[in-house]
């Protein structure tokens, strides 16, 4: 009823947009599900044996490796029924066992189109592995830094990918989950180039009415919020910071760890010092060229708006950062404005 009242306000300026209405209703729905017994019913994964995984990956052949992470290795596998899967094999160290436990627990109650899903697991005493959705187009990192492809030379395509990631983070935060390690290599792309957030090996789940927690597990340098790096404090705003860095990297093709960033200069400072009059200095020139659908000025306005959002996400103080709900809303508005132009 609160949403209905806001929709029917006497003054038009006080009414919510349909995008805001949709987000409000989705939040109400997810809160209802979270507060009911249905959400406490964890996904019970089908078991798969070590031998079956060995056969699926040709003996865990190095040629089947698609990604190497700190505590695990991802293999491409083919099940007997012909289905292609991603097999995440965790190392036998304490870090591997802990990562397996965290990821299998967190993903057991997460169901979202932009989050990678677990299909099966192997939980032997000396061997831990998860069978996940296979993402044939690999990671966002590959498309940004290791492939020359016109697909990610398109402003709308890049913006859609970022909206996918923002949608996933909105949902995770609603479910009280902090990803803690968002970066291009943890964003995977499916057949249709839809983005899926992956790798929950150091994720944290917050209790009700708890806004932040401490962790001794460090994420990737360059993507960590200042409070995470200095005190180990993680919250929803930690993910917001990482998303802001990801947003900057996607449109500039510059990693936060690039050798040009040393001393006092960093990715955020470099971008903010170049706006709004030197956008062509930080963005790939092909992104700003006119085409059959959009003029150079349209593209410039769009990317400037996106960089403003990224700047707000990466504020030094967590209190000054937006929530992911606000971030998603702003990016959707920017997209609609761009399409209208």
pLDDT at 41: 46
Find the length of the chain: 341
Fold of 140-340: Transferase(Phosphotransferase); domain 1 (1.10.510)
Instruction: Quickly tell me which residue has 């806004």 as its tokens.
Output: 211
Instruction: Quickly tell me which residue has 């109650």 as its tokens.
Output: 109
The answer to whether 314 and 244 are in contact (CB under 8 A) is: yes
The mean pLDDT value for 128-151 works out to 88
pLDDT at 33: 53
Q: What pTM does this model have?
A: 0.86
Residues 6+ apart with CB under 8 A from 214: 231, 232, 233, 234
Residue 76 has φ and ψ, to the nearest 5°, of -90, 130
Q: Which one-letter DSSP state was computed for residue 83?
A: -
Residue 256 has φ and ψ, to the nearest 5°, of -65, -15
pLDDT of 94 strictly over 60: yes
Instruction: Categorize the per-residue pLDDT at 37 as very low, low, confident or very high, splitting at 50, 70 and 90.
Output: very low
Instruction: Quickly tell me which residue has 């249709």 as its tokens.
Output: 192
Fold of 46-133: Phosphorylase Kinase; domain 1 (3.30.200)
pLDDT at 29: 67
Least confident of 80-89, 154-163, 264-273: 264-273
CA distance 14 to 8: 9
- Mean pLDDT, the chain, as a whole number? 89
pLDDT at 150: 66
Instruction: Categorize the per-residue pLDDT at 36 as very low, low, confident or very high, splitting at 50, 70 and 90.
Output: very low
pLDDT at 78: 97
**Per-residue pLDDT tens over the stretch 101-131:** 999 999 988 999 999 999 999 999 999 999 9
pLDDT at 160: 97
Instruction: Quickly tell me which residue has 């209802």 as its tokens.
Output: 32
pLDDT of 149 strictly over 70: no
Of 277 and 239, which is predicted with more confidence? 239
- In 3D, which of 245, 275, 270 has the Cα closest to residue 260? 270
Residue 116 has φ and ψ, to the nearest 5°, of -60, 140
Helix-helix angle 296-313:236-252, to 10 degrees = 150
pLDDT of 38 strictly over 80: no
- In 3D, which of 16, 11, 41, 42 has the Cα closest to residue 27? 16
Please state, for a pLDDT cut of 90, what percent of the chain lies above it: 68
Instruction: Categorize the per-residue pLDDT at 39 as very low, low, confident or very high, splitting at 50, 70 and 90.
Output: very low
Least confident of 97-106, 145-154, 237-246, 314-323: 145-154
CA distance 179 to 169: 8
The answer to whether 88 and 129 are in contact (CB under 8 A) is: yes
Could you give the residue ranges of the DSSP H alpha helices within the chain? 2-7, 18-34, 37-40, 50-56, 94-106, 140-141, 155-174, 226-231, 236-252, 267-274, 279-282, 296-313, 324-340
Q: Which pair of tokens denotes residue 121? A: 């697991």
* Neighbour tally for 124: CB within 10 Å: 10
Residue 44 has φ and ψ, to the nearest 5°, of -95, 110
Instruction: Categorize the per-residue pLDDT at 12 as very low, low, confident or very high, splitting at 50, 70 and 90.
Output: confident
Q: Are strands 46-47 and 187-189 parallel, antiparallel or unpaired?
A: unpaired
CA distance 221 to 226: 10
pLDDT of 21 strictly over 90: no
Residue 210 has φ and ψ, to the nearest 5°, of -110, 120
For residue 127, the cross-strand partners are 124
């Amino acid at each position: 009823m609160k949403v209905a009242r806001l929709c029917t306000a006497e003054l038009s300026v006080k009414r919510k947009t349909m995008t805001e209405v949709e987000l409000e209703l989705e939040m109400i729905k997810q809160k209802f599900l979270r507060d009911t017994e249905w959400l406490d019913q964890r996904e019970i994964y089908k078991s798969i044996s070590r031998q079956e995984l060995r056969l699926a990956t040709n003996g865990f052949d190095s040629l089947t490796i698609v990604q190497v992470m700190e505590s695990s290795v991802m293999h491409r596998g083919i099940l007997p029924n012909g289905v292609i899967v991603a097999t995440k094999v965790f190392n036998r160290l304490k870090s591997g066992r802990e990562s397996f436990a965290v990821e299998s627990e967190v993903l057991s109650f997460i169901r979202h189109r932009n989050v990678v899903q677990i299909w099966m697991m192997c939980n032997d005493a000396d061997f831990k592995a998860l069978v996940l959705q296979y993402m044939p187009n690999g990671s966002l990192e590959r498309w940004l830094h290791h492939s020359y492809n016109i697909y990610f030379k398109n402003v709308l395509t890049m913006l859609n990918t970022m909206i996918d990631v923002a949608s996933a983070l909105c949902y995770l935060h609603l479910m009280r989950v902090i990803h803690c390690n968002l970066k291009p290599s943890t964003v995977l792309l499916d057949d249709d180039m839809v983005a899926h957030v992956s790798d929950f090996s150091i994720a944290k789940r917050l209790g009700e009415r708890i806004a932040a927690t401490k962790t001794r597990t460090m994420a990737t340098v360059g993507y960590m919020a200042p409070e995470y790096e200095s005190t180990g404090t993680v919250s929803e705003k930690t993910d917001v910071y990482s998303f802001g860095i990801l947003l900057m990297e996607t449109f500039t093709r510059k990693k936060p760890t690039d050798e040009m960033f040393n001393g006092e200069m960093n990715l955020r400072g470099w971008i903010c010092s170049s706006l709004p009059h030197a956008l062509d200095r930080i963005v790939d020139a092909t992104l700003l060229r006119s085409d059959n659908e959009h003029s150079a000025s349209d593209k410039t306005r769009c990317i400037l708006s996106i960089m403003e959002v990224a700047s707000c996400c990466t504020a030094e103080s967590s209190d000054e950062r937006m929530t992911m709900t606000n971030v998603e809303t702003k990016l959707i508005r920017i997209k609609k404005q761009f399409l209208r132009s």
